[in-house]
Amino acid sequence: MQSELIKKYNRQVLIFTDLDGTLLDHYSYEHEDAKVCMERLMGHGIPIIPNTSKTFAELLELRKRLNLDGPFIVENGAAIFINKNFLPEKPKGAVWQDGFWVKSFSSKRNYWLGLIKKVAPEYGHLFESFVDMTIARIVELTGLTDEDAVLSSQRQFGEPLLWKGSEDELDKFILMLRRIGAHPVKGGRFLHIGGDCNKGIALAWLLREYQRQHKGVTISTIALGDGKNDVSMLEIADTAVRIASPVHEPPELERSLKLYTSNKLGPKGWTEILDQLIPESVFFSPSKNTDKTT
């Protein structure tokens, strides 16, 4: 449906959200506390766009559970999947794949596995690679169900590592990976090895494409996240929302304007801030016959 903001005010808001620890509870992966807010916003035609470290396979299932039907960004900005009816025409530089327009920003997983193999002789005892983990091990580390762990293992564009060494060793490891062309990103649980892409680059590309196909519409963006791998999109969005976490401090940002930090955790914090930023009253024009009597 067309956004009520476009119809009434020639404006639109695009909401980009991290999932684990933000829209989804850090421990239970549930979104129940954000459900009413999500339904309200989507009912007015405001897209909620997952921007996550999760895989394409995971998002196919999660979109059903979350009742989302718009685009989504996977594996820390490695690729954007855009449903056919989200934009009036084909996005520039995208290819049709698996029922979506796809814009990728990274080499495939096998390339990064090759780079990891190069550093394994010196650092291999300090990390576990996702590709070497059993489903049971992924379940143990993430708390996912067996079915969701299978989906999580189906990486396309990068490789998560579980770091076991010290912070000093990690800094040296990251430096070595950068020297050979990788761009490591620290997530909530894993170190993600991939290309020169991030959530912010993907957000900016989709915003430009949306603006190109909606000329004359004023578009603003809101990004919500709780971790270090969310910093790039939090810095670039018009409004940044840091969601409080039960396991770490909010990510540090350079910006100070239009920056919000929730008091509540996860999906409760998600609702807390979005109810402030986009109250229901914004969708209703003042009546010309307002009764001014008290």
In the structure encoding, which two tokens stand for residue 265, read together?
């955790």
Classify 107 in phi/psi space as left (phi over 0), alpha (psi -120 to 50) or beta: beta
Question: Alpha-carbon distance 95 to 218, whole Å?
Answer: 27
φ, ψ dihedrals at 87, nearest 5°: -120, 150
Do strands 191-193 and 72-74 pair parallel, antiparallel, or not at all (unpaired)? unpaired
**Residue 292: CA count within 13 A, CB half-sphere:** 2
In the structure encoding, which two tokens stand for residue 191, read together?
């170190």
DSSP 70: S
Active site residue 98: no
- The residue from 18, 20, 148, 226 that is catalytic is 18
Report the catalytic residues. 18
